[in-house]
């Protein structure tokens, strides 16, 4: 009975993970197009996505690699771009059964992403690791193979098409930040300020010579930090 229940949970996770897998494949494909420009090969792209499971974080890493900006900057930009997972993980940690085994805590946290966190937290009761593993089993390959496939296709397709596909990632970024900006005015103002400040720093003497990663780290800490002090969010949930 126990084994059967685990199997059922795993299959449920796989079922709910399928649409996520398809979405991941598409996003990862465009990430692969960008990775290829930075000189990352298909296997390296597969490994990067398998180990990181993060779109914005991996894109930031790619720009750091492209600029040959050093390991410290790569570590810091990954920390900044993925900082939101800290918030998700703290939320998820409240949903584990108090006597959940440590190995399940170690494994479930491996792939906390916006989407996989979303489907896990939406369920009732204590977190069921087998459900998350089922979703991971389809989502992780979708993400990792999508990246490798993007790199391979980037080498095969005509340059005109590859350049056009390169814009897809920015389109997805817009689809991530614009709808919340519509609902939360402060987020909207932050997006506009971020666009403007990023543009100015990319053209100004001195800061124009910095890598894109350095500018992103600095602006994120300054703008998000100022917003947190001036407009702290009220307690949610």
Q: Which residues in the 113-152 window bind other proteins by CB under 8 A?
A: none
179 sits near other proteins (criterion: CB under 8 A): yes
57 sits near other proteins (criterion: CB under 8 A): yes
Closer residue to other proteins (CB): 10 or 78? 78
Binding other proteins (rule: CB under 8 A), the pick from 8, 15, 101, 164 is 164
Closer residue to other proteins (CB): 11 or 65? 65
- Footprint on residues 60-119 left by other proteins (CB under 8 A): 60-61, 63-65, 68, 70-71, 74-75, 78-94, 96, 102, 105-106, 108-110, 112
165 sits near other proteins (criterion: CB under 8 A): yes
- Of 90, 77, 23, 52, residue with least CA distance to 217: 77
Burial-class residue 187 by CB neighbours within 10 Å (0-12, 13-18, 19+): middle
- Footprint on residues 22-41 left by other proteins (CB under 8 A): 23, 26-27, 30, 39-40
């Amino acid at each position: 009975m126990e084994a059967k229940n685990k199997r059922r949970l795993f299959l449920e996770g796989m079922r709910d993970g399928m649409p996520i897998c398809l979405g991941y494949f598409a996003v990862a494909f465009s990430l692969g197009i960008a990775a290829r420009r930075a000189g990352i090969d298909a296997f390296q792209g597969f490994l990067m996505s398998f180990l990181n499971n993060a779109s914005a974080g991996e894109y930031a890493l790619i720009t750091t690699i492209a600029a040959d900006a050093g390991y410290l900057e790569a570590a810091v930009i990954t920390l900044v771009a993925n900082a939101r997972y800290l918030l998700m993980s703290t939320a998820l940690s409240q949903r584990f059964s108090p006597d959940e085994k440590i190995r399940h805590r170690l494994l479930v946290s491996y792939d906390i992403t916006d989407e996989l966190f979303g489907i896990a937290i939406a369920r009732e009761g204590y977190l069921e690791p087998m459900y998350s593993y089922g979703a991971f089993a389809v989502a992780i390959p979708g993400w990792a193979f999508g990246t490798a496939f993007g790199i391979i296709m980037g080498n095969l397709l005509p340059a005109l098409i590859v350049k056009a596909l390169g814009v897809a990632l920015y389109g997805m970024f817009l689809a991530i930040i614009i709808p919340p900006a519509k609902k939360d005015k402060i987020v909207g103002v932050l997006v506009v300020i971020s666009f403007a400040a990023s543009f100015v720093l990319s053209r100004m003497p001195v800061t124009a010579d910095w890598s894109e990663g350095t500018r992103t780290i600095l602006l994120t800490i300054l703008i998000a930090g100022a917003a947190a002090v001036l407009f702290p969010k009220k307690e949610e949930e």
